[in-house]
Amino acid sequence: MSSKETPMTAVDRSWLRMETVENPMMISAVLVFEQSIHLPRLKRVLTDRFLRFRRFRQRIHRRGDREYWQDDPLFDIDNHIHVIALPGGGGQQELQDLVSDLTSTGLDLRRPLWQIHYIDQYDGGCALVVRIHHCIADGISLVRVLLSLTDPGPEATATVHKLPIRKLRATPA
């Protein structure tokens, strides 16, 4: 094991090994901003606040039946930020369709296991779709990481939108 490698914990290995094509083990978040974010500023904030966590600059290295976290010598933030224009009117339905497509697609296991999709011109501002593999951290830890990216405004409030709920019917077996 090189000095730049760290063995994955048993829990992290479990999340990694549970992944299948039908069930990507990733945590996704959609962040909607009232104003557009200039891409250079987004990259600067990610570099200063997100990449200070070493795990986001590491990839998985497999040796035998073990997995290790290894610093990615070719790490480039531009490989992890994707600028996307929504089709059609670029409204909520198009964003939901994009999120559905993205969450059903796995991440490249040869690179650090995260991506951010930047959607400009969404609802008068912009949106970020953040995808992070579950083996990097649990959901609560990742929420904290995402919150570290934001600055509280003068009226720092969050609007929580309820998702539509489909009623399930019981059917005889």
Q: Which of 56, 60, 51 is nearest to 6 (CA)?
A: 60
Cα separations (Å) of 136 from 30, 75, 95, 172? 18, 16, 25, 41
Question: Of these residues, 61, 80, 134, 161, which one is catalytic?
Answer: 134
Interatomic CA distance for residues 11 and 82, integer angstroms: 29
Catalytic status, residue 134: yes
The DSSP bridge pattern shows strands 114-122 and 5-7 to be unpaired
- SS3 of residue 115 by DSSP: strand
Catalytically active residues, by annotation:
134
